[in-house]
Chain A
């Protein structure tokens, strides 16, 4: 594995709790230009560089339209960057692959498959024997709290349940990195809180690398080791904040923790600044 070139924006932020943090994903001066309908060019991402360490939970936070989802899609291999390169374990990302598992805000479940069928889809595609895939999938469905709903179709489930299925479906093919694109954005506040707690519990078991896109400051601070704050038009990294809060995190304790509150207030301030920037001529 190649050594990381030290980047000034990341250097100061190296994860303190890990002795030997290796880079899982490296984004190197990535820019994305979109052609708008009026034949104009829109610079969605400008020279983004970021390193995500193995086992880190990193959130990308920013106002809507700052290109944070695009950045995630580039890591997923769904979108190719106009400039720059993203690498995974040192290899350039050229397309989607089972080492990077996406979870989308829109769930994107296969509606013609039952809950079990959806979760089994990845392992079956990977050549896991039916009986084994089914056993693993049933265990995962139980882990995400949907035991008893194996034979239901997505249409019969609520939003929160659908996102639980989507998470199980992605975990089922053991991606090294989870790419979560505002996964709880379409859910009501109560459901959202429950899913955040459950996601943390699941994550704390195997500490997969997670890249998590959100526009909620509280969500980012609560979940992450590192919060990447982005600005809009063009999308740039404004600041990378290490969240030095103990794990396992409990919501009730954290909400009263002054360090948590300070992170939230500080980061909100950064986002407020960006919107003021926009108003300047």
Chain B
């Protein structure tokens, strides 16, 4: 009984995907329009995209930009957010700036950035950087602000300098919150990656998608959506795995703490 239940819970995501594809298939058969191919047609288009060298180069270029933008964003945003969380002066300086940038869709900045930096890698990487930065700054800020004063005092009593306390106490203590921000940032990196390529049509996964749309190759369009979605699921799952390992200490090994005085 319990074995059956675990097997079922493992299979649940797969069943959900199959269910979705089935609904799609039926819906497309009923509607029967050219702009909405059946699930089977879209799935059949995937191998031809992944088998095409040109397409693979494009997708690889997208992922490279995404990785660079994401990494740069973390390198800047985590220290900035932590400093904002521990220093009122730093926070009150950067807060208004960030509040202005926060609600602006980063893709809306793309035309200006293209004007300055061209349509190449730099412009697109910058947009990804901007998209990822804000949630990471925000969560790092919250995480650093929540660090118990007395934990820092304990460190100070052991002889840790202000800088050491920042790196060896604030950073690990805020890590669960920082990683929550990074997870949001990762998904945003994927979204801004595609939108930037939609605006600056030169290369990348987004470029394949929108070129296919222009040419009316709807099965390729839907196949690309599936590929991008699968990349999202894959990246998120890999990140969750890493996160779980890094902050295992914040999740209890037992359901209840041990009772022992």
Question: Which residues does A use to contact B, with CB under 8 Å?
Answer: 76-78, 95-98, 100-102, 104, 106, 108-114, 121-122, 125-126, 152-158, 160-161, 169-170, 173, 175, 187, 190-191, 194-195
Are A102 and B154 within 8 A (Cβ)?
A: yes
Least CB distance, B252 to chain A, in whole angstroms: 5
A64 CA / B34 CA spacing, docked (Å): 76
Q: Are A156 and B257 in contact (CB under 8 A)?
A: yes
Nearest residue, chain A, Cβ from B171? A112
Decide: A98 and B158 in contact? CB cutoff 8 A.
Answer: yes
Interface presence of B153 (CB below 8 A): yes
Assembled-state Cα–Cα distance A109/B169 (Å): 11
Greatest chain A CB density within 10 A among B172, B250, B257, B258 is at: B257
| B254 → chain A closest CB, angstroms | 6
Q: Which residues of B, 227-261, contact A by the 8 Å Cβ criterion?
A: 247, 249-254, 257-261
What residues of chain B have their CB less than 8 Å away from a CB belonging to chain A?
148, 150-151, 153-154, 156-160, 169, 172-173, 175, 247, 249-254, 257-261
Please give, as numbers and ranges, the residues of chain B lying within 8 Å of A110 by CB-CB distance. 151, 154, 169, 172-173
Nearest B-chain residue to A192, judged by Cβ: B261
A109 to B249, CA, bound (A): 12
Q: How distant is the Cα of A26 from the Cα of B56 in the complex, in angstroms? A: 74
Given contacts A102-B153, A106-B150, contact A111 B261 (CB under 8 A): no
Residues of B within 8 A of A109 (CB): 151
CB distance from A24 to the nearest CB of B (A): 16
Inter-chain contacts of B252 with A (CB < 8 A): 153, 155-156
B151 contact set on A, CB distance < 8 A: 108-110
- Residues in A neighbouring B156, C-beta threshold 8 A: 77-78, 95-96
Q: How far is the CA of A187 from the CA of B173 in the complex (A)?
A: 24
The complex places the Cα of A78 from the Cα of B156 at a distance, in Å, of 9
Shortest beta-carbon distance from B78 to chain A in Å: 16
Contacts of B173 in A (CB 8 A): 110-112
- Min Cβ gap B242→A in Å is 15
User: Across the interface, do B258 and A97 meet the contact criterion of CB distance under 8 Å?
Assistant: no
CA distance A119 to B83 in the complex (A): 27
Residues in chain B near residue A173, CB distance under 8 A = 158
Indicate the member of A77, A122, A169 with the most B CB atoms within 10 Å.
Answer: A122
Taking a contact as CB atoms under 8 Å apart, the answer to whether B261 and A97 are in contact is no
Name the contact of B158 in the complex, choosing from A121, A153, A157, A191 (C-beta under 8 A). A121
B158 engages A194 (CB within 8 Å) = no
Give the distance to chain B from A202, nearest Cβ to Cβ, in Å.
15
A122 to B156, CA, bound (A): 10
Whole-angstrom distance between the alpha carbons of A191 and B169 in the complex?
Answer: 29
B159: chain A residues within 8 A (beta carbon): 97-98, 125-126
| A59 vs B160: C-alpha distance when bound (angstroms) | 28
Q: Does B260 lie within 8 Å of A158, measured CB to CB?
A: yes
Q: Could you write out 14 A-B pairs with CB less than 8 Å apart?
A: A77-B156, A96-B153, A98-B158, A101-B157, A109-B151, A112-B249, A126-B158, A155-B250, A156-B253, A156-B257, A157-B258, A158-B257, A175-B157, A187-B261
Q: For residue B261, which residues in chain A have a CB less than 8 angstroms away from its CB?
A: 158, 160-161, 187, 190-191, 194-195
A77 cross-chain contacts in B, Cβ below 8 A = 156
Q: Chain B: which residue is nearest A154 at the CB level?
A: B249
Docked Cα-Cα span, A169 to B158, in Å, equals: 10
CA distance A231 to B101 in the complex (A): 52
Which residues of chain A are within 8 angstroms of B150 by Cβ–Cβ distance? 102, 104, 106, 108
The chain A residue sitting closest to B248, CB to CB, is A153
Say yes or no: A157 contacts B157, CB within 8 Å.
no
Q: Looking across the interface, which residue of chain B has its beta carbon closest to that of A161? A: B260
